[in-house]
């Protein structure tokens, strides 16, 4: 690769959640919704295209706007938001974009001759009599489409099931004809929602939203966000329209359930809703998901982790890391931005994001300003973690801080581990560098900074001295 890859995989000033990755030709394309920095609702922007060569997952290219908020006739006034989309290549070789607007119960479709060109509105998924899916009596509202095309058939997965709402039964699969719009087989339920999960094997991990579908060998893997929200779970079947059984958690954006470096029930960072999909790139599978920034739900960023399949097709849960698509640990040399931290918590650990004074990743300026992110609200007891670094001959660590902070950062290789050095920091209204000697053992390690002192303050970057 031209450079190292890390999470988030796009620039820190870009907010593309709900990422659905697909390989077309020699590039991987990510289709997601578009949040704004410091936004006040989900998905305020147009659909942006991003892609990277399959042999260099550090080299992401912005393809520009591929579909605008007002391109759908239902949203000519721009009052609705473009929610999470998906793309499939149709039997005619063209690319079809499926999406839902937040104020309508239907699925819209746009089409393009290339994966990341400007898509043109095509129509709405509908029954043979012309009634739009989602508007026929007895239909459940459509939401978060996922699509996979096999031959002349396209399988469309949709749904949203909130706790306490018995009118929503689960994730649906609808089979479409080769025109990519007309329903060939009416919706069937494939994974139960929380109100209908008892006795199904999905208890505790029922379908909530965020449908995604992939095929590996002869198995269909349905990835979805479960009722706890921070999880992406999966179900597997031999057929696309029935027989799905619960498989497990693929990833949690709070790293819950992982017990290798912490208790399983301890969140390593505040999470919340999650959405993403699986993709195979040059023989390696990855799960794409998103994280939350700015201490609220509406400025989400795309991340990715490698995943592995056991011989029987099970996916062990992936850890959230800073190195993501890098293919291994980052080199412990040079400077890294603080926004690639994958663990971030205070004395009071929060599973769900939203506490206004909690430490968080943010940025200066306004939405669209190309400014690297940083961590703010650092107070006594804040823990900041980066995973993983390949440490060879590391002798010291430098950091840049600013704000009303006076204290020390303890340097560790585990969140509750031995202190290997202490970096004293003081009051500064501009970014100022401080350092300490820290003999980090050779090997692959996490790097944690644990702050003790007055605050709040901010962290811009860390630099390894070798």
Compute how many other C-beta atoms are within 10 angstroms of the C-beta atom of residue 58: 17
Calculate the CA 95 to chain-centre distance.
23
139 is catalytic: no
209 is catalytic: yes
Report the alpha-carbon distance of residue 224 to residue 207 in Å, rounded: 7
Distances (CA, A) of 120 to 97, 98, 328: 9, 12, 40
Report the alpha-carbon distance of residue 466 to residue 332 in Å, rounded: 8
Calculate the CA 299 to chain-centre distance.
11
Question: Cβ neighbours of residue 413 under 8 Å, at least 6 residues apart?
Answer: 420, 440, 441, 445, 446, 447, 448
By the 8 A CB rule, do 220 and 238 touch? yes
Q: Mind spelling out the 3-state secondary structure of 385-416? A: EEEEEEECCCCEEEEEEEECCEEEEEEECCCC
Catalytic residue selected from 20, 195, 209, 255: 209
By the 8 A CB rule, do 14 and 45 touch? no
Beta bridge partners of 252: 231
Report the alpha-carbon distance of residue 393 to residue 360 in Å, rounded: 31
Catalytic residue selected from 18, 72, 144, 305: 18
Active site residues: 18, 209
């Amino acid at each position: 690769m031209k450079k190292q890859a890390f999470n988030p995989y796009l620039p820190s000033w870009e907010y593309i959640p709900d990422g659905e990755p697909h390989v077309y030709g020699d590039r991987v394309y990510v289709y997601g919704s578009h949040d704004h920095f410091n936004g006040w609702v989900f998905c305020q922007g147009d659909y942006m295209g991003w892609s990277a060569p399959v042999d260099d997952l550090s080299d992401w290219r912005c393809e520009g706007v591929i579909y605008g908020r007002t391109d759908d006739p239902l949203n000519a006034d721009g009052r609705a938001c473009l929610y999470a989309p998906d793309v499939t290549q149709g039997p005619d070789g063209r690319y079809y974009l499926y999406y839902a607007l937040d104020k309508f119960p239907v699925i819209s479709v746009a089409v393009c001759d290339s994966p990341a060109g400007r898509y043109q509105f095509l129509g709405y998924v509908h029954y043979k009599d012309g009634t739009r899916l989602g508007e026929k009596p007895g239909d459940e509202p459509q939401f978060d489409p996922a699509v996979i095309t096999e031959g002349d058939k396209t399988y469309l997965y949709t749904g949203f099931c909130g706790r306490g709402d018995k009118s929503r039964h689960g994730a649906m699969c609808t089979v479409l004809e080769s025109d990519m719009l007309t329903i060939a087989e009416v919706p069937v339920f494939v994974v139960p929602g929380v109100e209908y999960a008892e006795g199904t094997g999905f208890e505790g991990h029922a379908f909530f939203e965020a449908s995604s579908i992939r095929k590996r060998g002869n198995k269909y893997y349905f990835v979805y966000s479960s009722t706890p929200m921070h999880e992406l779970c999966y179900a597997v079947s031999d057929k696309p329209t029935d027989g799905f059984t619960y498989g497990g958690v693929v990833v949690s954006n709070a790293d819950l359930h992982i017990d290798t470096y912490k208790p399983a029930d301890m969140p390593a960072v505040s999470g919340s809703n999650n959405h993403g999909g699986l993709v195979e790139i040059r023989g390696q599978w990855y799960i794409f998901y998103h994280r939350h920034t700015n201490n609220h739900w509406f400025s989400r960023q795309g991340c990715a982790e490698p995943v592995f399949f056991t011989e029987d097709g099970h996916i062990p849960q992936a850890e959230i890391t800073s190195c993501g698509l890098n293919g291994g640990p980052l080199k412990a040399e040079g400077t890294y931005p603080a926004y690639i931290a994958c663990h971030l918590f205070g004395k009071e650990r929060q599973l769900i994001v939203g506490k206004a004074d909690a430490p968080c990743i943010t940025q200066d300026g306004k939405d669209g300003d190309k400014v690297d992110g940083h961590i703010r609200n650092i107070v006594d007891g804040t823990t900041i973690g980066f995973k993983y670094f390949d440490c060879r001959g590391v002798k010291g660590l430098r950091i840049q801080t600013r704000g009303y902070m006076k204290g020390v950062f303890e340097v560790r290789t585990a969140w509750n581990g031995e202190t290997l050095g202490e970096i004293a920091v003081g009051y500064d209204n501009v970014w100022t560098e401080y350092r300490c000697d820290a003999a980090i053992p050779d090997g692959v390690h996490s790097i944690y900074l644990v702050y003790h002192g007055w605050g709040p303050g901010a962290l811009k970057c860390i630099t390894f001295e070798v």
